[in-house]
């Protein structure tokens, strides 16, 4: 019998009679039942976090650091089993899921070390005044995470929140609930007090809505679509609480004639095929100088054609999309294409062994209308669209020509040009002669425009989860 995925509240599993099916996107079959947390479970989790926070905020940074690094050790110990859960839930190749487990541990270890040197400041006003600042936790933080990188998104949000003295309630994505509950259980094994970390799986419109609207949540974080991000932002605004939103992307890779095309093609292919293109920071637009267009497109097409496709546990290059619903959404972009040439892919694979799964072939579309939906909207699939340019100004206009502004990349040997364009590209991160799809744990991450606001990752996340209190003393 497959065990029902429970909620995890105040250090213990919580089951309810209301559940839903957890579907394996590789096969279309159920992996078992998941608790459908409602307003009552969310309220219990928030109350547990509030109660635990009274003492957790008073624990020393040294104690919090030890617990976070201990949790990192346990995640590394259980990395293989966590990766298997992630591969089954999300459909991603097992090798990529193993990387996710490693990075999840790295977040807890990084913030466990960072808190040791996170200080306030003194402000020199006059000899008879002593002024200083304190960084204080908000209290209870709510986190609604997406299904594309469940372990990474969980860890990057929670680690920075709890290490600064907050207690957290996490709503994992409907499709990928299991690793969140597993890590919350590991936190208890590591020695965290009950209630510091709580997980409420369920349906977004129910559980996520209840969490974002709860009066006991002092700070809300969300990773997902721009449309739902707007709903979360409104809920936060209603209660006058801060929000960190990491939303959609339509990131451009700009390639100039002097670029190393072989290297560029490899990175371009990886940046859109990783996790089947289901990455907010995927390099989904290729903007290439006219003079090297044919050569680069051929190199990218060769790499697409060599991709192997299969179930997540088979550890091929490309796994399925997260659901048949997402598969249908990706297919619709190609069905509604009015301008552009599909050079490769554009359809569901016809391999009988993949029947029932949510697969989609690596797709390369050339010469699209820059204003068409396929060039403007986030597809969240293995679909790369290509346009050409002749001048820097034209390249910049194309790169900045969507409502998103999450990442950008510049491929050139001219470093003056690279720095010049890096300053003008509207994006939260800009890569030059490389592409990291979000980059390392240490790099602040977030977007401009409709890609969201606030920053996760790096040292800046510690600021995001604390408030500044200024104290002035008359001597």
Which residues have a catalytic role annotated?
246
Taking the C-alpha atoms of residue 374 and residue 334, their distance in angstroms, rounded to an integer, is: 8
At how many degrees (to 10) do helices 79-90 and 94-114 cross? Answer: 120
Taking the C-alpha atoms of residue 29 and residue 189, their distance in angstroms, rounded to an integer, is: 32
In 219-251, which positions are buried (b, 16+ CB within 10 angstroms) versus exposed (e)? Answer: bbbbbbebebbebbbebbeeeebbbbbbbbbbb
- CA distances, 313 to each of 5, 78, 407 (Å): 20, 17, 30
In Å, the largest CA–CA distance within the chain is 80
Burial of 473: CB neighbours in 10 Å, binned 0-12, 13-18, 19+: exposed
User: Which two three-digit tokens encode residue 157?
Assistant: 């949000």
The label of the residue with tokens 């990529």 reads 96
Taking the C-alpha atoms of residue 466 and residue 135, their distance in angstroms, rounded to an integer, is: 6
The label of the residue with tokens 């097409």 reads 301
User: Which two three-digit tokens encode residue 314?
Assistant: 């088979």
- Say how many Å lie between the first and final Cα of the chain, rounded: 69
Q: Which residues are 135's β-sheet partners?
A: 468
349: which residues sit within 8 A by CB, 6+ positions away?
Answer: 309, 359, 360, 361
Dihedral, CA of residue 255, residue 246, residue 59 and residue 186, to nearest 10: -90
């Amino acid at each position: 019998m497959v065990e029902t995925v429970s909620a995890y509240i105040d250090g213990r599993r919580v089951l309810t009679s209301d559940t839903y099916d957890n579907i394996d996107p590789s096969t279309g079959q159920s992996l078992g039942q998941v608790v459908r947390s409602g307003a009552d479970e969310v309220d219990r989790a928030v109350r547990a976090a509030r109660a635990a926070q009274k003492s957790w905020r008073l624990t020393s940074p040294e104690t919090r650091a030890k617990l976070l690094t201990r949790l990192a050790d346990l995640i590394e110990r259980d990395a293989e089993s966590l990766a298997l859960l992630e591969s089954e839930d999300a459909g991603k190749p097992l090798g990529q899921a193993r990387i996710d487990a490693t990075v999840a541990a790295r977040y807890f270890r990084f913030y466990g070390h960072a808190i040791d040197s996170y200080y306030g400041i003194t402000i020199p006003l006059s000899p008879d005044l002593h002024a200083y600042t304190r960084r204080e936790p908000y209290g209870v933080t709510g986190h609604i995470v997406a299904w594309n990188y469940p372990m990474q998104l969980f860890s990057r949000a929670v680690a920075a929140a709890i290490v600064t003295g907050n207690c957290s309630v996490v709503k994992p994505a409907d499709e990928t609930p299991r690793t969140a509950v597993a890590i919350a259980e590991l936190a208890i094994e590591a020695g965290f007090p009950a209630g510091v970390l709580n997980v409420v799986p369920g349906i977004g419109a129910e559980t996520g809505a209840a969490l974002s609207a709860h009066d006991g949540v002092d700070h809300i974080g969300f990773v997902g679509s721009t449309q739902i991000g707007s709903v979360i932002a409104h809920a936060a605004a209603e209660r006058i609480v801060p929000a960190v939103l990491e939303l959609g992307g339509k990131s451009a890779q700009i390639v100039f004639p002097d670029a190393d095309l072989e290297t560029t093609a490899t990175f371009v292919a990886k940046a859109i095929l990783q996790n089947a293109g289901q990455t907010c920071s995927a390099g989904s637009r290729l903007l290439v100088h006219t003079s090297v267009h044919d050569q680069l497109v051929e190199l990218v097409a060769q790499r697409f054609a060599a991709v192997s496709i299969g179930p997540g546990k088979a550890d091929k290059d490309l796994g399925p999309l997260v659901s048949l619903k997402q598969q249908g959404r990706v297919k619709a972009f190609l069905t509604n294409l009015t301008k552009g040439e599909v050079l490769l892919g554009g359809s569901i694979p016809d391999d009988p062994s993949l029947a029932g799964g949510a697969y989609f072939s690596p797709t390369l579309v050339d010469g699209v209308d820059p204003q068409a939906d396929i060039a403007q909207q986030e597809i969240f699939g293995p679909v790369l669209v290509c346009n050409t340019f002749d001048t820097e100004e034209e390249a910049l206009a194309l790169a900045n020509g969507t409502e998103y502004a999450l990442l950008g990349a510049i491929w050139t040997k001219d470093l003056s040009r690279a720095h010049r364009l890096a300053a003008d590209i509207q994006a939260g991160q800009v890569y030059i002669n490389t592409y990291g799809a979000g980059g390392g744990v240490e790099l602040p991450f977030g977007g401009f425009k409709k890609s969201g606001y606030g920053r996760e990752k790096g040292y800046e996340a510690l600021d995001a989860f604390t408030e500044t209190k200024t104290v002035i003393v008359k001597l």
